[in-house]
């Protein structure tokens, strides 16, 4: 979707849309994108909080990746930067993303839009609590596809502690590593209200366009329903914590 504008995506179909945003050094750019999303009918703003700086993405450096000119930034910001570090994307991020990102920015976003703000990139119960205190309407447990920091935990391994931390005050979603319906089943059993899928959708889009995306979502839905049937769960509400066992529990039971 990098070559489509906020408005073009909004007019593409009747699906519910959330708009993922970064905080830029130029706050006016962030504000304009948020306001355009609100006018276009998006239902929530997803604030990405785990990229104050871009992680060391060695494949991008090796391939000398170049950031395309994003249509949303036309007339506002150019992605053309000069860099001798290999990755043009990193140079662009370093020059535009605001490394001073803090909880105060959540308050600022809330002041410029009526849309609910979801915080994406939470991996600890401490940050989950702070997100709720800052006024977040929801949390997305995410490690940014494991591309930001080596040895960051798998999202599924920290999901439950974050669910417990927020105590039902806001919905908790999980992002990263969802490849099968069984992954969705595990996330729901551990307390997530829903899952987000990234790479599988991109793979489907690259292979067969819109048809490929539809096929990916159908496969995940079919696999989830099969998992539910084989686990004795006739509905989503029948999926419980008792249907999964964590590595920690497995280790404890073996001692």
State residue 66's pLDDT score: 77
Partners of residue 194 on adjacent β-strands:
173
C-beta neighbour count of 3 within 10 angstroms: 10
| Nearest to 247, CA basis, from 182, 158, 127, 122 | 158
**What is the phi/psi pair of residue 141, to 5°?**
-70, 115
Give the number of C-alpha atoms closer than 13 A to the C-alpha of residue 249, restricted to the C-beta side. Answer: 8
- Give residue-wise pLDDT tens across range 58-71: 888 888 887 777 78
Distance of CA 157 to the CA centre of its chain: 16
Could you tell me if 235 and 227 are in contact, meaning their C-beta atoms sit under 8 angstroms apart?
Answer: no
Rounded average pLDDT over 51-79: 81
1 confidence band (pLDDT: 50, 70, 90): very low
What's the mean pLDDT when you consider all of the chain?
90
CA 216/CA 209 separation, integer angstroms: 11
Strands 44-48 and 194-196 come out as: unpaired
Annotated catalytic residue, options 125, 144, 243, 252: 144
Locate 11 and state its tokens: 């007019």
Take residue 255 and report the two structure tokens written for it: 């001692």
Tokens (6 digits) for 126: 């401490």
Chain segment 187-203, per-residue pLDDT in tens = 999 999 999 999 999 99
CA distance 120 to 145: 12
Residue 243 is a catalytic residue: no
| Boundaries of every domain in the chain | 56-94
Which residue, 142, 226, 156, 143, is CA-closest to 191?
Answer: 156
pLDDT at 56: 87
pLDDT, tens digit (0-9, with 9 covering 90-100), for 108-152:
999 999 999 999 999 999 999 999 999 999 999 999 988 889 899
Report the predicted TM-score, pTM, of the whole model to 2 decimal places. 0.90
């Amino acid at each position: 979707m990098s070559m489509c504008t906020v408005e073009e995506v909004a007019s593409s179909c009747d699906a519910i849309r959330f708009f993922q945003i970064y905080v830029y050094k130029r706050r006016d750019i962030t504000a304009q994108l948020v306001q355009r999303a609100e006018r276009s009918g998006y239902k929530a703003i997803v604030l990405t909080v785990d990229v104050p700086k871009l992680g060391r993405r060695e494949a991008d450096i090796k391939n000398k990746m170049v950031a395309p000119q994003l249509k949303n930034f036309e007339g506002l910001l150019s992605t053309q930067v000069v860099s001798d570090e290999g990755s043009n994307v990193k140079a662009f991020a370093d020059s535009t993303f605001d490394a001073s990102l803090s909880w105060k920015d959540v308050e600022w976003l809330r002041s410029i839009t009526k849309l609910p703000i979801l915080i994406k990139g939470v991996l600890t119960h401490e940050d989950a609590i702070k997100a709720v205190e800052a006024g977040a309407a929801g949390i997305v447990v995410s490690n940014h596809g494991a591309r930001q920091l080596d040895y960051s935990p798998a999202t599924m391994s920290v999901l439950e502690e974050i669910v417990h931390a927020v105590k039902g005050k806001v919905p908790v979603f999980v992002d990263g590593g969802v490849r099968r319906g069984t992954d969705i089943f595990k996330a729901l059993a551990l307390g997530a209200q829903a899952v987000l899928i990234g790479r599988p959708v991109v793979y489907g889009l690259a292979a067969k366009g819109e048809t490929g995306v539809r096929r990916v979502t159908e496969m995940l839905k079919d696999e989830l329903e099969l998992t539910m049937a084989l686990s004795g769960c006739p509905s989503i509400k029948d999926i419980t914590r008792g249907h999964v066992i964590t590595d920690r529990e497995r280790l404890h039971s073996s001692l």
